[in-house]
Amino acid sequence: MEKKIKDIIPQMSLKEKADFVCGQDFWHTKSLPIAEVPAVLLADGPNGLRIQEDATDHLGINDSKAATCFPTAASYSCSFDPELTALLGDTIANEALAEKVGLLLGPGINIKRNPLGGRNFEYLSEDPYLTSQLTIPLVKALQAKGVGACIKHFAANSQETARLINNSVIDERALAEIYLPQFEAVIKESQPWGVMTSYNRLNGIYTSESQELLQEKLRKNWNYQGMVVSDWGGTSDRVATLLAGMDLEMPYQDEANAEKIITAAESGDLPIEKLDTAVTAILTFVKKTQQNIHQSTFTEGQQHQIARKIAEESAVLLKNQDNHLPLTNFNQTAVIGALAKTPRFQGSGSSKINPTRLDCPIDFITGNDVTYSQGYQLDSEELFEEELLAEALKNAGKADNIVIFAGLPDSFEGEGYDRQHLDLPQNQNYLIEKIAEVNSNITVILMGGGPVILPWAEKVKSILLTYLAGQAVGSAVANLLTGKANPSGKLAETWPKKYSDAPSALTFVKDVKNTQYRESIYVGYRFYDTNKREVAYPFGFGLSYSQFKVATPEIEKGNNNIQVTVEIENTSSIAGAEVLQVYVVGSKKIPTAEKTLKAFQKVHLDAGEKKMVHFELQRDDFAYYDVSTKKWQVVEDQYTIYLANSSRNILAEMQLALSGVTDVKIPGEKIHPSNHSNEHPFAITEKDFAELFPAEKMPTMAASQKLTVDSTLADVKTVGGEMIYQSLISNLEQAIGGDPALYQMLMASIETMPLRSFKLAGAVSEDDLTQLLKQLNQEE
């Protein structure tokens, strides 16, 4: 690609331009032989590479080439360590270079609004600041080696149910303070080569068609210079997406959308300048990939070792009664649980990696008289099986220590559907309760993509959370149990005591087509701490085998910043790491969260070592978003700064007076958590929520009078199209073949699938779809 981009575009015909912005196949941008522009490979995998050579799909079903499976975002976010995420980006780049990948489709940086989110394992946190600070170094490291990052899903993609049609109804302040800050920070600080739009609508408009998102915020306000790409099959109206500023549609399906682009350009409905802008963005991306001079030098063993390091430094020790851990050795240890032999180490869907190897925990727990019992059926919720339970009880009764592996099976969470509850399978809870009756020296290893309820927590000695820790999970767990590695992870999301405590519990996936984010800015710890609600484990929580002493911090106010300095000491005989966290307490003059994370540092200390830790806060860290002025404002007030090691464990308080606005009138007082009982769910009425939309009616999607490509299978049945409904399902079943995993995934969301998705799946053609809609709408 030697020619300058400005010289290439005049050589292209309208058809070539229309084709160029639609992709070449499932995973490549389109080549342009007239200008020697090559096709570029895009690859799934925020926590590793998913590259398919044969049958292709975007749901992780068909085989892919072997690649290192690193811990998922739910896991590595608990490291609270930007240096570690930089290492992750650098290490993934090694394999991406070797496979000639131009753009890695990740990381996913959406906010975890609700603990039942089926794809939460692929996202980092409930907090936008933590998300941004861990993502920026990852993106920079990846791109420093010549591999582009594509942050996703832009924006407000917080559920999997009806994800292709759902409308996220969010007030302006919540967007500014919760759902967009991490995207803004990552874009401004690291300029990722790609931004992927989400499937959902946002306030009534598909994100891929939103000029406010893609033009005003992304391009104008944030000065984004890269390429905007659709999620796979995530466009409804291709011409509308070009008008909004979405450049590349993926994957290629057929000629229909290119023809629509040509027709719109010829009629003047699509200015040619808009099409040229998209072509330029894609060409600019391709040129970046061709300028890479980096060499890929690595071994599979080196990659695996780094995967283990990340897993070890991300694990969270939730309980360690009487310093039960670390174990001296594994002698006389009973290992119980099917997950010890078949560990859950990654999520399902588009991020599912074919690992280069897999460390099964049972292979690394070795010693004299180590026994193993399956304990439960992993793919069943049957309460118990007599033989499995009897064997587990027998082995537990003879052991000095018991290590039980528990967690969520694949069927409980995954791309395309949300979790149904926060419980572990009943057979696992029953097993742990029965084991505790014969021997209390129990360590539970938890695997899964999100919070679970632990009814037996008081009956076991220790609990170690791995989330989904990648292919080195087995060796990492063994090292953590014996103290070769010291747990230092902190929870990047709050674990509630029960699901009804979650601030979005009453609105999450209750309405298939419209989801009202009635909790507004009160997401995660912002709600729980403001409401003084008891939680199982707070945001930022995590234990260590070491003990730390933190001195009284000193605060110094400058012209535009605030310096906080504190000494921390490891008072134990074990080297370890602590994460110091700085929270700002909101002004009492406005409805806002009690506290907000504004800084953190992970501090590694040898036994007996002391270190001085420095934090710098900016005036903007005390600001709120004023919807009336469209600006960030600081209220004149006396502020409190907390130094903590979780959102609930405050180590020190500091006071600070700031000047600012004095006449403050903003909506939201009625939904402030302090006005709601701690004993009942956070029940915000639609009327109170509507007050957050003062300028206009809430952007709710009404039922359409006519069926369109965005209508669902449920809509087809509603208008009496039962025969067409059955025919579409039959076509879909034939298109996916006999794959049970894909069938399960699709059946979980079948009723909410828009008709256009059947075209992507190969179940209907463009012409078929047009004729179906005419028939359903009773048109001639």
Catalytic residues: 231
- Neighbouring C-beta atoms of residue 425, cutoff 10 Å: 23
Query: For residues 10 and 26, is the Cβ–Cβ distance under 8 A?
Result: no
From start to end of 115-214, where are the E strands? Answer: 148-154, 167-169, 194-197, 201-202, 205-206
- Neighbouring C-beta atoms of residue 420, cutoff 10 Å: 10
Pairing of strands 316-320, 354-355: unpaired
Instruction: Single out the residue of 370, 465, 472, 479 nearest to residue 424, CA to CA.
Output: 465
Query: For residues 228 and 247, is the Cβ–Cβ distance under 8 A?
Result: yes
Contacts with 772 (C-beta within 8 Å, 6 or more apart), sequence order: 724, 728, 755, 764
Tokens describing residue 11: 């050589």
Contacts with 288 (C-beta within 8 Å, 6 or more apart), sequence order: 102, 146, 148, 193
For 529-583, give the DSSP string: HHTT--EEE-TT--B-SS-EEE---EEEE-SSEEEEEEEEEE-SSS-EEEEEEEE
Tokens describing residue 248: 């590349």
Query: For residues 615 and 129, is the Cβ–Cβ distance under 8 A?
Result: no
In angstroms, the CA 146 to CA 294 distance is 7
Query: For residues 581 and 649, is the Cβ–Cβ distance under 8 A?
Result: no
Tokens describing residue 9: 């575009």
Using CB atoms within 10 A of its CB, is residue 144 exposed (0-12), middle (13-18) or buried (19+)? middle
Torsions phi, psi of 563, nearest 5? -100, 130
Query: Positive or negative CA dihedral for 489, 490, 493, 494?
Result: positive
In angstroms, the CA 526 to CA 494 distance is 10
In angstroms, the CA 735 to CA 129 distance is 42
Q: Could you write out the three-class secondary structure of 716-771?
A: HHHCCCHHHHHHHHHHHHHHHCCCHHHHHHHHHHHHHCECHHHHHCCCCCHHHHHH
Sequence letter at residue 226? G
Residue written as token pair 């907390």: 642
Tokens describing residue 360: 């099964």
